[in-house]
Structures are given as C-alpha cells and as structure tokens.
C-alpha cells in the first residue's frame, strides 16, 4: 500500500491483520477466561458491525454504476456483477450478525470465570 491507497482499503487491511495477529497469539499461548472474555467482547463487536459494513459496501457498489463509467474487462454487464456481489454481501451481512450473536453467547458463558495464578495439581 502507498499514500494513494484509499482509506477504506487500509481499514480493511488493519482488520485483517488484527485477526491474523489473534490467530498467531492463540496458536500455543494459553489464555484464561478473563482474557478470552475481553477478546470476545471486541470480536462480537466486529460481528455486530460487519453487517453494516457489508450493506454499505453493497450500496456503494450500486451507486458507483451511476457515478462512474463502470465496465467488465470480459464484456459482461457490470450491473449483473454488482447485483451478484450485492446478493453475496447481503448473505454475508446475515451471517456476520449470527457470528456476532454467537460470540456474545460465548462471552456470556464465561462471564463469571476467574482463575488463580497457580497451576492445578
């Protein structure tokens, strides 16, 4: 990426890198419930916000057809590809909402856990 990379692309890249970091940090490290609770709190927020992002991206694609001279490099109709992308983004929004709800349930399930900083016998 460079200085001309649109901010929305940078934000999506940051989100990707954050999830990637969580994946790396949870490969071998053991995290107790209070830590996982906090992580789930942030991840459920992602799940709850992704539907809005998907919906807004779909609307932006639709508006781009009126704003720009959009074409497909293979000659297909751009209106059709935007419609297909919108269908997939709509489905992704529904699934993301489910993801957020499931992460919230996981967080709730461990909400009363604590731990002692000593190994179990």
C-alpha 86/C-alpha 61 separation (Å) is: 8
Tokens representing residue 29 in the block: 């490290």
Residue 103 and residue 22 in contact, taking contact as beta carbons nearer than 8 Å: no
Model pLDDT for residues 69-106, shown as the tens digit of each residue: 999 999 999 999 999 999 999 999 999 999 999 999 99
Judge whether residue 121 has pLDDT over 80.
no
**Residue 100 in contact with residue 46, Cβ under 8 Å?**
yes
Predicted confidence at residue 120, as pLDDT, reads 67
7 vs 120, which has greater pLDDT?
Answer: 7
CA 82, CA 58: separation in Å to the nearest integer?
8
Query: How far is Cα 61 from Cα 21, in angstroms, rounded to an integer?
Result: 30
Judge whether residue 118 has pLDDT over 80: no
Tens digit of each residue's pLDDT (9 = 90 or more) over 15-53: 999 999 999 999 999 999 999 999 999 999 999 999 999
């Amino acid at each position: 990426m460079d200085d001309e990379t649109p901010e929305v692309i940078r934000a999506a890249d940051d989100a990707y890198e954050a999830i990637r970091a969580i994946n790396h940090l949870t490969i071998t490290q053991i995290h107790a419930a209070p830590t996982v609770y906090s992580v789930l709190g942030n991840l459920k927020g992602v799940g709850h916000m992704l539907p809005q992002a998907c919906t807004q991206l779909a609307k932006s694609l639709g508006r781009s057809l009126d704003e720009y001279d959009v074409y497909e490099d293979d000659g297909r109709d751009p209106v059709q590809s935007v419609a297909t992308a919108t269908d997939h983004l709509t489905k992704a929004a529904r699934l993301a909402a489910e993801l957020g709800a499931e992460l919230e349930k996981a967080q709730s399930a461990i909400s009363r856990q604590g731990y002692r900083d000593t190994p179990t016998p």
